[in-house]
Amino acid sequence: AQSVSQHNHHVILSEAASLELGCNYSYGGTVNLFWYVQYPGQHLQLLLKYFSGDPLVKGIKGFEAEFIKSKFSFNLRKPSVQWSDTAEYFCAVNAGGNKLVFGAGTILRVKS
Partner 1 sequence: NAGVTQTPKFQVLKTGQSMTLQCAQDMNHEYMSWYRQDPGMGLRLIHYSVGAGITDQGEVPNGYNVSRSTTEDFPLRLLSAAPSQTSVYFCASRRFRENTEAFFGQGTRLTVV
C-beta of 16: minimal distance to partner 1 in Å? 28
Q: For the chain, what's the residue count?
A: 112
Over the range 46-63, which residues count as b (16 or more CB within 10 Å of their CB) and which as e? Answer: ebbbbeeeeeebebeeeb
Does residue 34 bind partner 1 (CB under 8 A)?
yes
Q: Shortest approach of partner 1 to residue 78 CB, angstroms?
A: 20
Of the candidate residues 11, 49, 62, 64, the single one contacting partner 1 (CB under 8 A): 49
CA distances from 78 to 29, 31, 49, 65, 66 (A): 28, 23, 15, 9, 11
Residue in 73, 75, 105, 110 binding partner 1, rule: CB under 8 A: 105
53 counts as binding partner 1 under rule CB under 8 A: no
Q: How far is the CB of 11 from partner 1 (least distance, A)?
A: 14
